[in-house]
Amino acid sequence: MKKLLKISYHLILFLALSLLTSACVKKNPGPGGTSTIKGIITGQDFNAGELEIQQLTFTNGSQLEHGDYFLLNEVKNGDNYYIYFKNPNWVSPADPGLQGRIGLEIIFNYSDSNVEIAQAVKNKLTSLGVLSFNMSNDNDILTITYKNRMPVADADNGTTNIGIDIVNQGSADVLSTNLVPMAEKRVYLCYGENTTPDDDIKTNSEGEFEFKNLQIGTYKVYVISETPDLSNQNEEVSKTIQITTKESINDLGTLQIYF
DSSP calls for 177-215: EEEEE-TT-EEEEEETT-SS-SEEEE--TTSEEEEEEEP
**Cα distance between residue 131 and residue 80, in whole Å:** 12
Band the pLDDT of 8: cuts 50, 70, 90.
Answer: low
State yes or no: pLDDT of 48 exceeds 50.
yes
Residue 132, pLDDT score: 98
Pairing of strands 186-191, 174-181: unpaired
Residue 7, pLDDT score: 46
Residue 27, pLDDT score: 60
Do residues 134 and 113 touch, judged by C-beta distance below 8 A?
A: no
Domain 52-172 -> CATH class: alpha beta
Domain with CATH 2.60.40.10 in the chain: 27-47+178-258
Share the mean pLDDT of the chain.
91
Pairing of strands 79-86, 69-76: antiparallel
227: nearest Cα among 177, 179, 175, 186: 175
Count of C-beta atoms within a 10 Å radius of residue 79? 13
Mean pLDDT of 81-104: 97
Residue 229, pLDDT score: 78
Mean pLDDT of 124-141: 97
> What's the CATH code, domain 27-47+178-258?
2.60.40.10
226: nearest Cα among 195, 192, 193, 182: 182
Count of C-beta atoms within a 10 Å radius of residue 37? 21
Query: CA dist 216 to 16, 199, 242, Å?
Result: 22, 16, 8
* Cα 97–chain centre separation: 40
Q: Which residue has the higher pLDDT, 227 or 238?
A: 238
Mean pLDDT of 47-75: 97
**Cα distance between residue 218 and residue 170, in whole Å:** 46
Ranking 97-101, 200-204, 227-231 by mean pLDDT, the lowest is: 227-231
State yes or no: pLDDT of 19 exceeds 50.
no
Mean pLDDT of 212-232: 91
109: which DSSP letter? Answer: -
Which tens digits make up the pLDDT trace of 133-189? 999 999 999 999 999 999 999 999 999 999 999 999 999 999 998 999 999 999 999
* Ordered alpha helix ranges (H), 80-228: 114-126
Residue 183, pLDDT score: 98
Please name every residue paired with 241 in a beta bridge, in sequence order, or none if there are none: 219
Residue 20, pLDDT score: 43
Band the pLDDT of 17: cuts 50, 70, 90.
Answer: very low
H or E stretch at 24: helix 2-25
**Cα distance between residue 73 and residue 84, in whole Å:** 14
Query: CA dist 100 to 62, 74, 80, Å?
Result: 29, 13, 8
State yes or no: pLDDT of 23 exceeds 60.
no
Do residues 137 and 118 touch, judged by C-beta distance below 8 A?
A: yes
2: which DSSP letter? Answer: H
Domain with CATH 3.90.1160 in the chain: 52-172
**Cα distance between residue 39 and residue 208, in whole Å:** 6
Please name every residue paired with 24 in a beta bridge, in sequence order, or none if there are none: none
